[in-house]
Structure 1
Amino acid sequence: MPFLNMLSLWKSFTMLHLLLLLILCTSHVSPGANDLHFYDGSSTADIIAGDVFFEIVDPPELSYSFRIRPAKDFGAPFNQSFLFEKARLVPTVPIHSCSDILNTDELTGHIALSERGECSFVFKTVKAQQAGARAMIITESVDKWEDSMDHLIEMVDDRMDTEVNIPAGFLLGRSGATILRTLRRLKLNHAIVNLPVNLTHVPISKMNQPPWIAW
């Protein structure tokens, strides 16, 4: 075969491989820390799946929409029967909620915020329920979230022989830590929230997510 023909075939072969490599590299998109940021043609509803959003309306420093993953097989669902408007999001005392909660006056009828660790998700939710909370949100420990992957966790039943009648969900560690630290800095014992908020038809790029969430 003439040298020029061989050179032409080699160039075509090389260009084909480069094209295939480019297609493979651009077809994979990293989902980001909270699995929200796909750009593969999926709808917002597909990406959110069964997750739930709430928004903080006060203090202004935390005025964003936050994503939580509902407990998988315990507790009540986050639906219209559990619609919270301008409710309190109250960090529990103690913050791990593994013993009797002390700030029941602040918490009764509102939403508890607790840190992960020291006991099961179910036990924490039971303690919040006993303290009068109408819902429970659990997040990574303020002191530990930086050492762990910032991702949503499936909260499952640990087969406690206790009925859980309130909804519960897991909040990203970075968001939970920021909420807790901001409330402490402002010397506030709660934030004001709306939960749930419907973002099913809101484009991902228009969601008012916190700036620390990776896109």
Structure 2
Amino acid sequence: MQTMLINLVAILLLFSKLIFAGINNLHTYDNIRSHDIFFEILQPEDLEYTYRLKPAKDFGGTFTDDTFKQRSRNLLVFAEPREACTALENPHELSGNIALIERGECTFVRKTIMAEEAGAIGAIITDTRSNFNEDVFIEMVHDNTSRNTNIPAGYLLGRNGRMIISTLDRYGLDRAIIKLPINLTFTPPELINYPPWTME
């Protein structure tokens, strides 16, 4: 009888812990994992929403270090060439900023290294091909070479990447003003300002 009572108390404690965690940790909602990163676009106005990144699994730094936390805003700048498989041609624009890179042609590690060599402090990689994995977060893993990078990289949902890039292209812009990371730990999912096109 005493053993049953102890087991019941343990189960109740575990259950209450899970409930408490669900209230206080965003990663319990919507299949969001605790290490996912969020950012907001502040300009241009058409893109002023909250976006989710899936950080690289086993290479690079983190978007939560002081490099990002101490800033109220960052610039998200196109890599040129956009697939970033060769030395980037716009290091002056990328230096101290975050590179926006399109997926394809080479590994995620190589793209991030190219961004770092151009002076970027982070890389956001996305797949812009219409109807190709646009609703899937790709797992960015190391390419099993001896190369590595110190800056963080994150994967942006393809649908979001396509809309961001097409909007910037439409306005003739090569960058967006963003805040990264943002803390949504205590924000209920229904209050997050996700882009309307992800709700379709």
What TM-score range do you get, normalising by the shorter chain? 0.7 to 0.9
In structure 2, C-alpha distance between the alignment counterparts of 1:55 and 1:203, rounded to whole Å: 16
Match for 1:139 among 126, 129, 147?
126
Q: Tell me by how many angstroms 1:149 deviates.
A: 4.7
Q: Which amino acid in the other structure matches residue 166 of structure 2?
A: R
In structure 2, C-alpha distance between the alignment counterparts of 1:196 and 1:107, rounded to whole Å: 18
- Percent identical pairs in the alignment equals 45
Q: Which amino acid in the other structure matches residue 214 of structure 1?
A: M
TM-score (norm 1): 0.77
Counterpart of 2:28 in structure 1 is: 46
Counterpart of 1:182 in structure 2 is: 167
Does 2:94 correspond to 1:94?
A: no
Question: What do you get for the CA RMSD once the two structures are aligned?
Answer: 1.6
Any idea what SS the aligned residue of 1:136 has?
Answer: strand
Is the 8 Å Cα contact of residues 97 and 114 (structure 1) preserved in structure 2? yes
Counterpart of 2:138 in structure 1 is: 153
- Equivalent residues in 2 for 1:49-128 (5 A)? 49=33, 50-83=35-68, 84-128=71-115
Q: Tell me by how many angstroms 1:94 deviates.
A: 0.4
Match for 2:179 among 186, 194, 204?
194
Runs of 4+ in 1 over 2 A off after TM superposition: 41-45
Any idea what SS the aligned residue of 2:76 has?
Answer: strand
**What do residues 111-138 of structure 1 show as CA deviations (whole Å, max 9, x unaligned)?**
0010111000000000000000000000
In structure 2, C-alpha distance between the alignment counterparts of 1:94 and 1:58, rounded to whole Å: 23
**What do residues 61-119 of structure 1 show as CA deviations (whole Å, max 9, x unaligned)?**
10001000000000011213231432110111100000110111111000001011100
In structure 2, C-alpha distance between the alignment counterparts of 1:90 and 1:149, rounded to whole Å: 21
Aligned residues: 173
Structure 2 unpaired stretches of 5+: 1-20
The 1:192–1:149 alpha-carbon spacing in structure 2 relative to 1, beyond 3 Å, is closer
Any idea what SS the aligned residue of 1:193 has?
Answer: strand
TM-score (norm 2): 0.82
In structure 1, C-alpha distance between the alignment counterparts of 2:55 and 2:136, rounded to whole Å: 14
Is the 8 Å Cα contact of residues 55 and 195 (structure 1) preserved in structure 2? yes
In structure 2, C-alpha distance between the alignment counterparts of 1:89 and 1:189, rounded to whole Å: 8
Any idea what SS the aligned residue of 1:146 has?
Answer: coil
Structure 1 unpaired stretches of 5+: 1-40
